[in-house]
Amino acid sequence: MSELLNTLMQDARVWQGHRHRQTTQSSESTGYQVLDNQLGGIGWPKGALSECLLNVHGIGELHLVLPLMQRLTQAGKTVFWLNPPQTPYAPALAREGVDLDHVVMIHADDANDFLWTLENCLRSPVTGLVLAWPGKLATRDVRRLQLAAEAGSNVCVLFREQRYAGQNSPAALRLELTPDEHQALSINVLKRRGSWPGQRCTLAMAHRADLTCQEPPRVIQGPWTSGRG
């Protein structure tokens, strides 16, 4: 037991109130130096869940993950969009350097289908990034997804309502996103693995292309009644 605890502490998975410990977990840069600095130079953790908590869609949250989408798709990794509130706008994504051959959007109406699909996307070896809008999730569901993220060792970003900020979560990174009056995105770090929360920064989002459109052709449509393992 002590050996397991030491391993968890070395990897900063156990928070120690009296000290800061730099995590050795692999990660992907956010592409924004000011944000990476607030995250201890780590960025998006791999093999773990990240949560972006916001009340309004379209405030710049997609631009927050845009540099990562660019890098991963150009490297041949697949980016999955699961139940986005609006459809990705392909021409804008292409102009921003995202390889559309490696972007897949999935829509699942049933909650069980959603969890099953998300879990399998996380475990797939072709996956580089999963963007998901899950709505309500039980704590046990988040833990199930965390295990899948660890197995796949990719990046997963869950976009959830701000009211879940007070809910306990095993996510390694939790960011609270709010717009400000200068067309910028304010980011409050609610939780990050291996250190204290409370870091803040602001990212300018002016003059960026709209990455979504209102009318989708859905690429994949659920629910599915068979074939789940």
Buried b (16+ CB within 10 A) or exposed e, 109-137: eeeebbbbbbbebbbbeebbbbbbbbeeb
Average pLDDT value over all residues in the chain: 82
- Residue 7's pLDDT band (cuts 50, 70, 90): very low
Is it the case that residue 123 has pLDDT exceeding 90? yes
In this prediction, what percent of the chain has a pLDDT beyond 70? 78
Tell me which CATH homologous superfamily contains domain 26-213.
P-loop containing nucleotide triphosphate hydrolases (3.40.50.300)
| DSSP annotation string for 27-92 | EE--S-HHHHHHTTT--EESSEEEEEEESSSSSSHHHHHHHHHHHHHHTT-EEEEES-SSEE-HHH
Is it the case that residue 69 has pLDDT exceeding 70? yes
Q: What is the CA radius of gyration of the chain?
A: 17
Burial degree of 210 (CB within 10 A; 0-12, 13-18, 19+):
exposed
pLDDT tens-digit series, residues 105-117: 999 989 999 999 9
Residue 27 in tokens: 């990660």
Q: Does the pTM of the predicted model rise above 0.85?
A: no
pLDDT tens-digit series, residues 136-186: 888 889 889 999 999 999 999 999 999 999 888 889 999 999 998 777 899
Is it the case that residue 102 has pLDDT exceeding 80? yes
Q: What is the DSSP letter of 97?
A: T
Q: What angle do CA 73, 100, 85 make, to 5 degrees?
A: 100
